Structure 1
Amino acid sequence: MQTIKGFDGLRAISVIFVILTHLGVYTVAKSHGVLSDNAAPIVSGTTGVQVFFVLSGFLITSLLIKEHEASGTISLKGFYIRRAFRILPLYVLCLALTLVIDLFVWDVASAPSLIYAALFNTSFIPREDYSQILGHTWSLSVEEHFYVLWPAALLFAYRFNYARALLHLGVGIVITLILYAATIRLEEINDAYFVGRWSVFAGAWIAFGCIAAIVINGPYRRANVFLASRAALLIGAALFFHSLVLGIVPKPLDELLRVMGVVLIVCWIVRNQASALVKALEYEPLAYTGKISYGLYMWQGLMLSTGPERAAGQVWPLNPGLGLLLLCVVAPLSYHFFEKRFLALSARYRHTALHHKVEERAASAAPLKS
């Protein structure tokens, strides 16, 4: 699939939101009256992760649709191998370093938190087992659960029947958000778990990205005309910045409105690749930050933890200032000298596998020769 301009810029903004949250910048800004309560959710780490979720759902679904259009099917084996090359090497490296630090430097992670993270299940971790240094891995858990289920569902359950997939995704989102709204009001459960991070609830934001991809790539001309219009961008911006006017609305309505805004903005960007907004998002330093955003996201957990608090005499993580400096050095090095090796393997496997499938499809469709 051709690279979509502007997406790296969105990734950069998202990971910056996460890093600033974990540095405690917003807490200080609010205490000094620089950041209002109504503006804080717009730039929060939660919003950053939700943008990542929408982009992930959109891109993965678009890739699957393009593969199906080119070859008549999709290779689940190939999909999982490519995802493994992209996610696992850096993830395993960060977990291994966390374990080494925990054993030989400073007590940074509980044994249960390491197990939950290793099993990609931090999204369901009880609060009593939670370790800040691994807290950010919850979003990777949600994404991995999505990767396991969605491609198989699209291939076997829906057989790329777009209308049925859209219907089920829409109904599923409604049911999920109703359950989410009810569950977050159960005090006992919320005291024990991070309910908003449960994959069954957080996965709704990925599902919005899946819907957007189906509409953009499917036979929905009128919808695509609207998504390319200035009205879609204005409505998307209004939804994204709604708290500036409406104030803090109850969850999950506030998250729903903001994610719907993200979806409209993402679709508008796809349909307006020559726009001034896309050019701004393609500003080289911003785009580069987005390109290395996975590394930034993983390493910031190790270098900064998920909050600026430090115990007296704590050896690791370093104080936030030094941690940020180390992050800015390590993340680019990680991308160029570690991650890119596996990205090349992933790309090579995708192109080779797709080429073979296209050849097989052409051969099966060719008339028999006498």
Structure 2
Amino acid sequence: MEDLPINLPPEIQKPNFRALDGLRGVAILIVIYSHVLRAFPPGSNDIGLIGVYIFFVISGFLITTLLLKERLKYGNINLKGFYLRRCFRILPVAFLYLIVMAFLNTIYKLNIERSFFLSSFLFVRNLPLQQHGEIFTGHFWSLAIEEQFYLIFPFFIVWLSLRNYKRLVQYSILMILLLSYVCVKKLDTDFFHVPVSVHLLISWLFNLFGKGTVLILIGSLFSILLVTQNKFIRLVYNKAPDFLSLLLFLLGVIILTPVFPWHAPLISSTVFGIMMAFVIILNLKERSLMGRLLENKPLKTIGILSYSLYIWQQIFTYKQPWHEAGTDLLLITANLIALGIIAWMSYYLYERKILAYKNRFKRV
């Protein structure tokens, strides 16, 4: 069977994808805003998932697209180079944060257990290894999900034909959703009466693949649909009005908000992921209304710093080790300014120097 042809649109052939930095900027601002809101009644931070989910879809789309570009240009994918690039990008600041938190844990008696540091260091923070609720390393759950995706699916992109990889992604999305539904509704125990060991296995698989992996896979699937010239995707891409991506973004946010009348976590997050994938694709175009908004320089700068901001924001929002700001707007503002300074220093004085080594392994 003939494989799917890779035909990169002109926007994909560029070294940097338009508006993605701005979209990252929006995502991290949502996360920070939600964490600050936790100090205010009713104390919910559910809207922070909107920002994290945007990051998931971007990751799936971007990683898959870069690997496919590499395959088209060189006829192969250098997995060693891929993993070295990921390590140089993700590990240095993540490990630096954990080292800083270890010192703060001692100085301020934060009572962070070693198991939390270990699970964060090993990027298994999403697994049910210990009780959840620890704040200062809690955000490593999303990093764990991304790292686990990187460890598994790039191998399939290399080993499988693009047609079979597309099928694998589609079947994986369906199976993960089904598994998630079974786990959340406890159908295995309530209906099928499976042994406890089987229920535990399903719970582990749900935590491993069911809390974000679907969104990453949706991003990966839409990358394939775009570069293989899927007729529906091309029709939407070519004929969509300028305002559609902004409308989809706003509708997606509404659907994922818990107060939405028909909010259902599994369905809502999947629909949101599909909407964000369309938002990414539509904002590759020059004439997109939302794309022009995302090209705003301050927003792009925030997007460039988004990973640094995400890592460090946990100790500057909600509960600070040194002095909790609570609902004091002056202290909240001071902490946010400090976060911006720390993130800027982290990126430009530390991370970017290491990223210079990452670029030595860059092929596309």
How high is the TM-score relative to the length of structure 2?
Answer: 0.81
Match for residue 61 of structure 2 among 39, 51, 58: 58
5+ residue gaps in structure 1?
32-36, 355-370
2:268 aligns with: 254
What is the Cα-based RMSD across aligned positions, in Å?
3.0
SS state at 1:133 partner? coil
With 124-133 and 284-293 compared, the bigger mean Cα shift is at: 124-133
The one-letter amino acid of 1:257's match is: V
Q: String of CA shifts for 1:295-340, please: whole Å, max 9, x gaps.
A: 0000002333xxx257xxx636666624323202111111111111
Q: String of CA shifts for 1:48-92, please: whole Å, max 9, x gaps.
A: 111000000000000000000111101111000000110011011
Change (3 A) 1:264 1:236: farther
Partners of 2:130 and 2:224 in 1: CA distance:
37
SS state at 1:123 partner? coil
Match for residue 198 of structure 1 among 183, 204, 207: 207
SS state at 1:134 partner? coil
Match for residue 128 of structure 1 among 131, 155, 166: 131
Match for residue 148 of structure 2 among 145, 150, 175: 145
Query: Is structure 2 residue 281 aligned with structure 1 residue 267?
Result: yes
Partners of 1:10 and 1:258 in 2: CA distance:
15
Q: String of CA shifts for 1:121-148, please: whole Å, max 9, x gaps.
A: 0011445264210000111000100111
Partners of 2:53 and 2:20 in 1: CA distance:
14
Report how far residue 222 of structure 1 moved. Answer: 4.5
Report how far residue 185 of structure 1 moved. Answer: 2.7
5+ residue gaps in structure 2?
1-13, 190-195
Match for residue 208 of structure 1 among 196, 213, 218: 218
Partners of 1:87 and 1:208 in 2: CA distance:
22
Aligned residues: 330
Change (3 A) 1:171 1:274: same
1:179 aligns with: 179
SS state at 2:112 partner? coil
Q: Is the 8 A contact 1:57 1:207 kept in 2?
A: yes
Identity of aligned residues (%): 24
Report how far residue 16 of structure 1 moved. Answer: 0.9
With 175-184 and 242-251 compared, the bigger mean Cα shift is at: 242-251
SS state at 2:263 partner? coil
Report how far residue 276 of structure 1 moved. Answer: 2.7
Report how far residue 203 of structure 1 moved. Answer: 0.6
Query: Is structure 2 residue 344 aligned with structure 1 residue 341?
Result: no
Q: Is the 8 A contact 1:302 1:317 kept in 2?
A: no
The one-letter amino acid of 1:3's match is: N
Change (3 A) 1:317 1:143: farther
Q: Is the 8 A contact 1:240 1:262 kept in 2?
A: no
Match for residue 315 of structure 1 among 300, 322, 341: 322
Q: Is the 8 A contact 1:243 1:249 kept in 2?
A: yes
Report how far residue 196 of structure 1 moved. Answer: 11
Partners of 1:166 and 1:174 in 2: CA distance:
13
1:163 aligns with: 163
Change (3 A) 1:125 1:327: farther
Partners of 2:49 and 2:85 in 1: CA distance:
27
Change (3 A) 1:137 1:206: same
Q: Is the 8 A contact 1:236 1:260 kept in 2?
A: no
Q: Is the 8 A contact 2:313 2:339 kept in 1?
A: yes
1:218 aligns with: 228
1:303 aligns with: 316
Partners of 1:52 and 1:324 in 2: CA distance:
21
Match for residue 82 of structure 1 among 85, 110, 116: 85
Which one has the bigger helix percentage?
1
Change (3 A) 1:328 1:207: same
Change (3 A) 1:81 1:316: farther
Match for residue 93 of structure 1 among 82, 85, 96: 96
Partners of 1:26 and 1:275 in 2: CA distance:
37
With 5-14 and 232-241 compared, the bigger mean Cα shift is at: 232-241
Query: Is structure 2 residue 107 aligned with structure 1 residue 104?
Result: yes
Partners of 1:49 and 1:228 in 2: CA distance:
29
Partners of 1:11 and 1:196 in 2: CA distance:
28
Report how far residue 343 of structure 1 moved. Answer: 1.7
Partners of 1:325 and 1:205 in 2: CA distance:
31
Partners of 1:70 and 1:294 in 2: CA distance:
28
Q: Is the 8 A contact 1:241 1:258 kept in 2?
A: no
Q: Is the 8 A contact 2:156 2:165 kept in 1?
A: no
